[in-house]
Structure 1
């Protein structure tokens, strides 16, 4: 931690609790979110006191409290370092909306169709062939099916430059390791996929955050980075961005693509959610900067999170071959069994049916969120990640973004809501610039029923409508 995060300075100046306890809690939050990782060095007591305006004794008490909680170690003559933690991963249940899962349709006919497709794969395929090593990138049939699936968003894509991979996350690891070396940086949105933060930390790659408005990441900030910081790539989640639900406008896509082309900066276009809008009349950045862009999509957010099949369209056949080599070194190959299932469901229309069912449930639950939370907050279908209190619940997709105002602190409210059976993730988990807005992400997917979703959103609306009672419980 070379500089004091802006949200530390802001939070430490709030008078609602002792500053030394708030300091320990800020360290805990940043360890949980991945902003601080094991062996990160913290500012010295004197540096932190000067940066925050707190007195030396208060800062010392805060570090002592953090050490008591097992968050940091203090070594004489060397300073204070983060101990880190190994996060526990609950298997299922609990707060359903904290999980980043698509809705699970309860349609007997659709479920029977999925089952029949799976049985057909095992009944008709050469099982020995599916249990052998295969060339990386999938069979010719798998790659053709993937290219056809992407063609609605990426006209002109071919099977020759499409690879099948074991999940979007593995593709991102490969691309970032291919573009950037430790200490180099890539440009990202100021709020983004937490997995990308973990990848960057593991690879030693720096993230340069681009502030976002209602149209998307700032083109001016990207231009400044291109001129002065030599970014190795631009990573974007252009459609229904996780967590803010923001979809980048056409004008902003064109500006960002033009700048990437001018400065020869590769674009990683993570379109995990682009299939969810029934009509997306916006160009992919990969069509605006075709020689520099890598288009990544998959089935985990429109079919099921356990179907770890992703498709990546490279700028050229040669670049696809290069990426195949990198991916092979990281993960050997995508599972032929998973590939065969995915290809079957794509080819027989099951994936399209599943996608439409996910869309329909998403529309219903977003309408429910606007109905219940709209009684206590302004509601929008698009907006900037930061701003006055309000709910952003787009008609497409299954995330909602809840901007908060006083007296709420996102981390505290999210923890309290989980105790009430309502799932939410605080904005700090997604922040790449150290200054997250006061907001929560809600996931309206997962195994919950419509009635469960209504009950959870109702409890959240009640808490927002009666903050004194809820905040008293938080305190």
Structure 2
């Protein structure tokens, strides 16, 4: 007689917990991770499971397909579907070094991508998607950018919003537009590595300004402005990369006031604002004429969406920025920009963002549980800044982790001057599978708990 109850590993499906096929696939994955299902276990036939769950057959078929994509299941013809043996990946690296958004929780990304591209191709002039465009984005793209920035600033004039191919391109163009070779650019002691890379290429000098647990120190900022006459200061005030600090509102206002007084332009690179829990207003809200604001989609939606929105209030500055941008990146790819615009205007970007935000917070809870007293993250965003015990140096720990198949980023990669802290950055989104992320964090925790072994050369 056919069992009328769902299998024990499958919890009750919830109406508000996302697509049901993903709930089934996630439950199956969790059961494999905790041992409730083991390699070789036979799964119920799809029709039987659909009847037990009171869902249509297509839902179960999609769930099994998703589980196969995750290498959880294997088909054995007429014998049915079975839990797959773990896939052996020789020399596989558990990558905790790349700051990318995690796979969105409860969102069918593949379906969203297909639907979005279908809408773009249906509504756009396809020839225009494959030709040159003026830099800065179309009117539609700029309106989408203004809508994307509305949570930070409210209603904006879309003409002040420029579209470019990623935040790194925006930073480089701002260096070219607003500084000259040899000029000083101020930054915090630990900062985004792309900042230093652009400065070196263009012959600009990065100088570190002392920071505390709230970010750049106002008194030290003002002193550096008077002493070095900088043209720009670079700040990443929300879930800062790499320290994960969110600068409080009072500090933002103080820095904005000093920048106005000393006539220094602020480049506010703010990729994580929409991932943060109740962040303060951007610095650009307190000094709109003094700040150029950058918000990229790559860090909060998906890396392949190489679109950043740049808010530049001054019309002459906008033109200088576009001239500089055209010298190395004529435009954002029209198809990519059109997809971003479609997703923002039809609400897909908002759903994707919420899925990424939810998944990121789940991963932070996992990191907090595994890393215990060493965890110092904010509970959201993409990364954790992990202070090390005195017996480990950051570069040494990174090498030891690499020898065990784990990639992390040492403090040296972020230093704008002398390395002032002994820490590593752990990125929580680059490992797609939660079970693999859990395993990598556990291995890293064990590595941190033991002292480094003395170096000895191998003899063969």
Q: Which runs of 5+ in 2 are unaligned?
A: 1-90
Q: Is the 8 A contact 2:387 2:423 kept in 1?
A: yes
What CA RMSD, in Å, does the superposition of the two structures yield over aligned residues?
Answer: 1.8
Number of the residue aligned with 2:351 = 353
Query: Is the 8 Å Cα contact of residues 157 and 313 (structure 1) preserved in structure 2?
Result: no
Aligned residue number for residue 290 of structure 1: 288
Query: C-alpha displacement at 1:155, in angstroms?
Result: 2.7
Taking a change above 3 Å as real, the CA distance of residues 451 and 198 of structure 1, as seen in their structure-2 partners, is same
Q: 1:106 to 1:284 in 2, by over 3 A?
A: closer
Question: Structure 2 vs 1, CA of residues 93 and 103 (structure 1 numbering), >3 Å: closer, same or farther?
Answer: farther
Aligned-pair CA distance for 1:168:
0.6
Give the direction of change, closer, same or farther, for the CA distance of 1:363–1:108 in structure 2 (3 Å limit). closer
- Counterpart contact for 1:273–1:397, Cα < 8 Å: yes
Equivalent position of 2:407 in the other structure: 423
Whether 2:262 is the aligned partner of 1:263: answer yes
Q: How many residues align?
A: 367
Preserved CA contact (<8 Å) 1:416 1:474: no
- Cα-to-partner distance string for 1:162-198 (whole Å, 9 max, x where unaligned): 0000111011001112222221101101101111111
C-alpha distance in structure 2 between counterparts of 1:418 and 1:123, whole Å: 47
**For the residues of structure 2 that align with 1:310 and 1:93, how far apart are their CA atoms?**
32
Give the Cα separation in 2 of the matches to 1:474 and 1:274: 46
Distance in 2, Cα, partners of 1:214 & 1:98 = 23
Alpha-carbon separation, structure 1, partners of 2:203 and 2:365: 42
Query: Secondary structure of 1:153's partner?
Result: helix
Aligned mates of 1:364, 1:425 — CA distance in 2: 22
Give runs of aligned pairs for residues 99-178 of structure 1, distance below 5 A: 99-105=98-104, 107=106, 109-178=108-177
Cα separation, 2, equivalents of 1:347 and 1:399: 29
The TM-score with structure 1 as length reference comes to 0.74
- 1:451-470 → structure 2 map (5 Å cutoff): 451-465=435-449, 467-468=450-451, 470=452
Query: Helix, strand or coil for the counterpart of 2:135?
Result: coil
**Aligned pair in 2 of structure 1 residues 473, 98: CA closer, same or farther (>3 Å)?**
farther
Instruction: For 1:335-350, list aligned pairs within 5 A.
Output: 335-350=333-348
List aligned pairs for 1:43-54, cutoff 5 A: none
> TM-score by structure 2 length?
0.77
SS at match of 2:151: coil
Query: Structure 1: where are the runs of 5+ without partners?
Result: 1-91, 379-389
Whole-Å Cα distance in 1 between the matches of residues 121 and 178 of structure 2?
39
When residues 355 and 255 of structure 1 are mapped into structure 2, their CA distance, relative to the original with a 3 A threshold, is same
Distance in 2 of aligned mates of 1:168 and 1:154: 19
Q: CA deviation at 1:107?
A: 4.5
For the 8 Å contact 2:185–2:234, the answer to whether it is kept is yes
The answer to whether structure 1 residue 442 and structure 2 residue 441 are counterparts is no
Give the Cα separation in 2 of the matches to 1:269 and 1:446: 25
Runs of 4+ in 1 over 6 A off after TM superposition: none
Superposition pairs for residues 394-405 of structure 1, below 5 Å? 394-405=378-389
Give the match's secondary structure for 1:269.
strand
Indicate the residue corresponding to 2:273 in structure 1: 274
- 1:438 and 1:369 map into 2 onto residues whose CA distance is 19
What is residue 203 of structure 1 aligned with on the other side? 202
2:154 aligned counterpart, secondary structure: coil
Partner secondary structure for residue 303 of structure 1: coil
Aligned counterpart in structure 1 of residue 301 of structure 2, from 303, 309, 313: 303
Aligned equivalents of 1:414 and 1:95: distance in 2?
13
1:255, CA displacement in angstroms?
A: 0.8
Q: Deviations over 1:301-347 (max 9, x none)?
A: 11111111000000233322331222122211111111101101111
